[in-house]
Amino acid sequence: MDTKHNFQTYIAPLLGILVFLVIWQIGAPRIQTSLGAVPGPVQVAGQFGQLVNEHWTERTKAKEFYQRQEERNAQKLAEDPQAEVKIRPYTGRKTFFDQILTSLVTVMVGFILAALIAIPLGIAAGLSPTIYAALNPLIQLFKPVSPLAWLPIVTMIVSAVYSGNDPMLDKSFINSAITVLLCCLWPTLINTTVGVANISPDLQNVSKVLRLNRWTYIRKIVLPSAIPMIFTGLRLSLGIAWMVLIAAEMLAQNPGLGKFVWDEFQNGSSDSLGRIMVAVLVIGLIGFALDRGMLMLQRKVSWDKSAALR
Amino acid sequence: MTQEKEHLILSQVSIDFPTPQGSFRALNKVNLKISKGEFVSIIGHSGCGKSTVLNIVAGLYQATEGGVILDGREVNQPGPERAVVFQNHSLLPWLSAYENVELAVKQVFRGKKSRAEMKDWIMHNLKLVHMDHAMHKRPAEISGGMKQRVGIARALAMEPQVLLLDEPFGALDALTRAHLQDSMMEIQANLGNTVIMITHDVDEAVLLSDRIVMMSNGPAATVGEILEVKLPRPRNRVAMAEDPEYIRCRQAVLRFLYERHGRAEKAEQPTVVTAETPASSATESSVAASEEPAAVGAAVIEMKKKQPKAA
Ligand SMILES: Nc1ncnc2c1ncn2[C@@H]1O[C@H](COP(=O)(O)OP(=O)(O)OP(=O)(O)O)[C@@H](O)[C@H]1O
Ligand SMILES: [Mg+2]
């Protein structure tokens, strides 16, 4: 019993990964592409190391750049205390890890905005059958639309509405974030609605007998009882957000992981396939980590600690 | 006990429920007058409309015809002056016992009691049902009987004019039930609340009530008979078992339920207990127990009898 449990929790997953790596290593070199053979896991690991190196090289360069500026400024000030000094920002190449950060920021902005819209709207729709009836056709209509279809519209609208000489935020960033928002709104909206609409009639009766006002009712009864469903929705939404983001970044040229993949593809060097594969694995790992993060948040927030959370 | 007549009046109360087959008249012309401080039980077969009566008094359902008058004012919405103890406790699972009572107290006494007074009042009510030791536990962490006690504390803490109990002890084992019945009698003696309690259990009805309202079977159920229980209080379940008045009352209720409004299938097989339906088995065990002269703890006796069968 116990050994079986150990086998299932530790050994089986490791075996699965091992078999996958072996098949990959054996199969990959047999496929010749215009960029050379498909890299196996060993080459991909090598590429990862190279990306790490590039990152540190770039960081060192940036550090030296700032140091040089400071030295020059100090010298200027020593010669003439009234001299005007400024620090120019370093405009070097974005490394793979900078791009991961951009992607994370973009996805979180899109996802959090979506949650801020979807949760209140879902509560309203769950409480009022009229609002639900009004929203339902829109939800059904827009839910299946692909991010690739949204992006051109978003791009046009953003460039029309959001202009100015020195925009604070990059347009490509806004386009990607809004596309993410539009695609990941729906699961949270639907699940919140269902969660709120299915509050036990007994608890509704309790709140009627107590004459709770609307706000107290929402705070004390609706929200806690819908929390598990809201989180189910949020986790689905975050998964979709991350998936959509990569596609959106490719098209919007937001300097994140999507752009990294696209640029490598356009680049077409012998390293490209390996670097794309590193990106694929990193994308998968981050998606997994995001989901675990949501799960941990759910555990913290939810009152029902006994509920099986997967 | 009856300082003021006509405290609560149900007058010609009828209700129709819409169903796919057309409207269904669940209650027809229910009339009942309850005086202040009185303890009234409603007993009747399953599905006859007991909960519906209670929900109408609570204001959770609206009567189609007739109405309910409390202290001269018509009842048309729920409110804390008619506190309900629901059949399945209905505690908020994300709040501790203390917080569950607190929600009610804050709602009812906002602006009337200070923070410290509220705290004392919550503690007082939890002590009343002997739940102060587990007040920081959530409903999932306490037993069924404890949950029911917290539900009672929550209702009592609202200082209701009328306390409405829907089979409050139905889902409990016999010993816990007996214990809670005693607490209920004690609390009611001290506070003098008006109580309407629904029950399936004949002994419970006789033990606790001043009057027992027996309902005829639905559809279009109504008050069949009202029995006055003239037993002195405080009542002791053991001492009372052989009291002729007690026996007379039990016989009267049983006769009403199983001779005049009996259901063939139930009358024929009173000892069948199915594990899946604890509520119905509780009913039937109290029926079977009617053959025993000493009816105290009837359910316990009945359970013992059935053990070999179940094994
Ligand atoms: N909301 C409703 N809609 C339609 N019919 C209802 C509704 N509530 C109750 N009824 C019907 O009214 C009748 C009485 O129901 P009620 O719940 O009052 O019975 P009860 O005496 O409390 O039964 P039990 O002892 O099993 O709790 C039943 O036939 C039931 O089907
Ligand atoms: Mg009922």
Residues A79-111: pLDDT tens digits? 888 877 777 888 777 889 999 999 999 999 999
Angstroms from B107 CA to nearest CA on chain A: 7
Q: What is the pLDDT of residues B230-250, one digit of tens each?
A: 988 889 888 888 899 999 999
Give the N- to C-terminal CA distance of chain B in Å, as an integer: 49
Helix axes A223-252, A272-301, angle to 10 degrees: 160
Residue B164's SS3 state is strand
Angstroms from A310 CA to nearest CA on chain B: 21
Does residue B296 or residue A292 have the better pLDDT? A292
The mean-pLDDT minimum among A227-241, B145-159, B220-234, B273-287 falls in B273-287
Domain boundaries, chain A: 94-303
Cβ(A142)–Cβ(A76) under 8 Å?
Answer: no
Candidates A109, A176, A184; CA nearest to A145 is A184
Mean pLDDT for B115-122 is 94
Does residue A100 or residue B283 have the better pLDDT? A100
CA atoms within 13 A on the CB side of A63: 6
Q: Compute and round to an integer the Cα radius of gyration of chain A.
A: 25
Name the residue among A203, A205, A209 with its Cβ closest to that of B92.
A203
ω into residue B219 within 30 of 0, thus cis?
yes
Name the residue among A206, A220, A224 with its Cβ closest to that of B90.
A206
Highest average pLDDT, of A39-48, A111-120, A146-155, B253-262, comes from: A111-120
Mean pLDDT for A226-241 is 94
Name the residue among B82, B90, B94 with its Cβ closest to that of A224.
B94
The mean pLDDT of chain A is 89
Does the structure show a pLDDT above 60 at A24? Answer: yes
Contacts 24+ apart (CB under 8 A), B98-101: B98/B122, B98/B126, B98/B135, B98/B136, B100/B139, B100/B150, B100/B154, B101/B125, B101/B126, B101/B150, B101/B153, B101/B154, B101/B157
A-facing residues of B in 81-120 (CB < 8 A) are 82-84, 86, 88, 90, 92-94, 103-104, 107-108
Nearest residue of chain B to residue A206 (CA atoms): B90
Candidates B63, B34, B69; CA nearest to B49 is B63
Q: What is the pLDDT of residue A299?
A: 87
Contact yes or no for B107 and A211 at CB 8 A: yes
Q: What is the pLDDT of residue A164?
A: 65
**Ligand 1 within 6 A of B46 CB?**
yes
Amino acid identity, position B199: T
Mean pLDDT for A223-230 is 93
Q: What is the pLDDT of residue A78?
A: 86
What is the atom index within ligand 1 of the atom nearest the CA of B44?
A: 21
Does the structure show a pLDDT above 50 at B192? Answer: yes
A94-303, what's its fold?
A: MetI-like fold (1.10.3720)
Amino acid identity, position A133: A
Helix axes A96-127, A272-301, angle to 10 degrees: 40
| Confidence class for position B175, pLDDT limits 50, 70, 90 | confident
Does the structure show a pLDDT above 90 at B95? Answer: yes
* H/E stretch holding A232: helix A223-252
Cβ(B118)–Cβ(B103) under 8 Å?
Answer: no
Q: What is the pLDDT of residues B35-44, one digit of tens each?
A: 999 999 999 9
Cα–Cα distances in angstroms (integers) from residue B252 to residues B94, B179, B203, B228, B257, in the given order:
45, 25, 12, 10, 9
Q: What is the pLDDT of residues B46-63, one digit of tens each?
A: 889 999 999 999 999 999
To test the pocket of ligand 1, the residue of B13, B15, B21, B24 to mutate (highest count of ligand atoms within 8 Å of its CB) is: B24
The mean pLDDT of chain B is 82
**Ion ligand 2 — residues with CB < 5 Å:** B 51
pTM for the whole thing?
0.80
